[in-house]
Homo-oligomer: A and B are copies of this chain.
Amino acid sequence: MKIRRSVTMEDIARMAHVSKPTVSRALRNSPLVTPETRKLVMDLAQKHGYVVNRNAQKLRQSRSDTIAVVLDFKSHRENRISDPFIFNLLAGVSEALGQREQDLLLCAPGHAEIESLSAIIASRGADGIIFLGEGERRPDFVDLAALGVPFVVWGSVEQDQSYCAVGSDNFHGGFLAGQHLLDRGRSRFLFVGDSRFHEISQRRQGLVAALAKSDKPTHLSDLIMDGFSYASTLEAARAMIESDKATVPDAVFAASDTAAMALISALGDAGLSVPGDVSVVGYNNIPGAEYFSPPLTTIGQDVHMAGALLVEKLMLHIEGRAPASTMLDTRLIVRESS
């Protein structure tokens, strides 16, 4: 089996003493072809290392069997985000696509403008798009949906959304965290996370809702920070603890496990113990949360299913059906940090 450059379907047809359409059918297991013919053709193809030219195929079929996945690496790298959550999500998507024999075109941030995005589809480079994380692109989604581009988003799910999204029930997640911390008898809350991100903001709202139900007085402050990297969290936390010793919180809800870990470090440096002085709850249940010291109480969801769902819905969309958004169940995983 050697790679040559010019074995075409025509060549195989000639060698098998049949026509091109027959070869085409044989290779695709069409029932319109005799088993003998099929075998003959396949053996010949194998022998000569012939593989169908995907580009010709795609051109003819006006279908690419390719899905574009948009992942904002850049902001990840710049923020030095080490949150493996998105990576696991990507893995789930990758696997689900593989099962459906769809190729995965990974798109860098350069492609993030709406023009290039719809161009991906218009140029038949991909049949649909999966956005992993909505970042600050929400307005674009509305436009994109209006253009009829088939896509799904991992992000926040809302009423009357003009596009299909799959996401964690962020509000409920925040609510669970709040409830849990109240159960622990805490009252001075700190929320850690960049609320400019919609998903994060919803988690915060869930927390607020839980606090509102409390019959004891509670206090909530925010750790203002830019992005949500481990480093920036750590710095912000240190600065806060330093400047404001009096109002150090006794409960922290961090919008990501990574941020929670950073927080715990900062608290430790300041001589505060977790969970002794402060209870901390994270988000995402990343692999590693379990093994952190102390093991992290966190909000978890089924990432792997998320990937499969995103793919399933996108395929429906491509087939012309309008898939509904789904909010993934979210659960509290109690460990030792709270």
Contacts and interface: CB of A to CB of B under 8 A. Distances in A.
Interface in A91-128: 91, 94-95, 97-98, 103-111, 115, 118-119, 121-125
Given A84-B87, A108-B104, A51 B119 contact: yes
B73 A95 contact: yes
A128 to B, nearest CB: 13
A81 B287 contact: yes
Contacts of A287: 80-82, 229-231
A95 B111 CA distance: 11
Contacts of A110: 98
Interface string A147-183: 1110000000000000000000000000000000000
Contacts of A51: 119, 122-123
Interface of A: 1-3, 5, 49-56, 58-59, 62, 64, 69, 73-74, 76-77, 80-82, 84, 87-88, 90-91, 94-95, 97-98, 103-111, 115, 118-119, 121-125, 147-149, 229-231, 234, 258, 261-262, 265, 268, 286-288, 290-293, 304
Given A53-B123, A54-B123, A291-B262, A97 B108 contact: yes
B91 A98 contact: no
B55 A124 contact: yes
A288 B84 CA distance: 11
A36 B295 CA distance: 67
Given A84-B87, A230-B287, 7 more contacts: A53-B59, A55-B124, A55-B125, A73-B94, A80-B287, A81-B287, A104-B106
A326 to B, nearest CB: 22
Contact of A91 (B73, B119, B268): B73
Given A258-B288, A291-B230, A291-B265, A59 B49 contact: no
